[in-house]
Amino acid sequence: MKIVTPSEVDGTITAPPSKSIAQRAIAIAAMADGNSLIISAGDCDDVLATIGVSEQFGVLIDKTADTLSIYGGMRPPVIPLQCRESGLCIRMFAAIAATFKEEITLTGKGSLLNRPMYNIEECLHALGVKCTTNKGRIPVKVKGCIETTTGVIDGSISSQLLTGLLIAAPRIENDLELQVNNLKSKQYIDLTIDVINKFGVVVENQNYQNFYVKGGQSYKPCIFSVEGDWSAAAFMLVAGAIAGKVTVKNLKYDSLQPDKAIIKALEEAGADILVKKDLISVEKKPLKAFEFNASHCPDLFPPLVALASNCDGESKITGIDRLVHKESNRADTLKNEFAKLNIGITFHKNTMIVKGGKCKGGIINSQNDHRIAMSCAVAALVAKNTVRIENPQVITKSYPSFFKDLKSLQKK
């Protein structure tokens, strides 16, 4: 259990590396012919899962304090691929597995046990690949190479499978053309294509509805530096907005990461924001209710709820349909856990309505969801009494140093 004591915050931290970018870069480097260097990949659980699966594919990876040296070249794994709790990892490597003739099994643990995999099954079937799941859950078994190189994908649940297919495309001999319906999280696809481009492969994006990868391309090894993580930084920026002043370094303001949109929400709520070349400072001001559409950046819901709970009035956050299949059902989890802190949350169609108020102390259950633990910890900074968070170690999935960084900001 982690105890967070109410206090003002004032200080500077460095954003951890973006796990979304690091995972993509590691998977692509594993497919490249030669030696790539990934600088500042980080050590969160999802990144470690991607490293582990790459190694199971026979890829040699040397780790130093700040650099991964990846010697690309894959061969079929002999044991099930262990994706831990990473949804991106299992979806990326399911697509890559579909470029091998041998049957490959992908599995995981924890929250991944309950996350739906039927979209992987349906999509790979449409591309001529034999794929089975356990009634829509893991393990996922993939056998046979992609034969049909023109397919239709449902992008309404997640963009991660499309990411996987675009990354896997250079291993397919022929051109790959994908039609995508109702694509969500479009900026994550921008992120994917940007990383693919840096390794020398071209992807054509036609208005996020059709994607085309010409056959005969191959990844070239490169030196790739991972930028700071806006998803993680969002919690600390909100901490500054509600409890004092926080500066976060190692953030690219022109980043393609969708969670950079936290700045728009903070601006609308009335926080004082200072933007410089590679850092963002946020300082507390009187906060007013805001409206925000998080359909394409659903990971912002938890920090946005912590922000909204300190705003005067009712804030409205749209896109709760994107929260059902996360590490927990985040809409219900946020409602239930923030109720323990005396913050009211209601739902209207696809919108979450958060009524601002004074947080009280209490005992919070993270529900095995890293972003719930971080959201409640930030809200605890301005609670009347201490907040105790059960199962706080889940933050290692994305931000292992979260509690250390938060404590460094708290005034003694």
Q: Which residues are catalytic?
A: 299
| DSSP for 304-333, written as a single string | HHHHHTTSBSEEEEE-GGGSTTSSS-HHHH
Question: What is the C-alpha R_g of the chain?
Answer: 21
Q: Using an 8 Å Cβ cutoff, are 251 and 278 in contact?
A: yes
Tokens of 99: 């470029």
Q: Cβ atoms within 10 A of the Cβ of 283, count?
A: 15
Identify which of 376, 229, 259 has the alpha carbon closest to the alpha carbon of residue 322. 259
- Please state whether beta strands 176-181 and 150-154 pair in parallel, antiparallel, or not at all (unpaired): parallel
CA 132 to CA 118: how far, in whole Å? Answer: 9
Q: Using an 8 Å Cβ cutoff, are 110 and 92 in contact?
A: no
CA 63 to CA 388: how far, in whole Å? Answer: 36
Give bridge partners of residue 115 from the DSSP assignment. Answer: none
CA 159 to CA 157: how far, in whole Å? Answer: 7
Question: Could you say which DSSP state residue 259 is in?
Answer: G
CA 291 to CA 385: how far, in whole Å? Answer: 29
CA 206 to CA 297: how far, in whole Å? Answer: 21
Helices and strands, counts by H and E, the chain: 12, 23
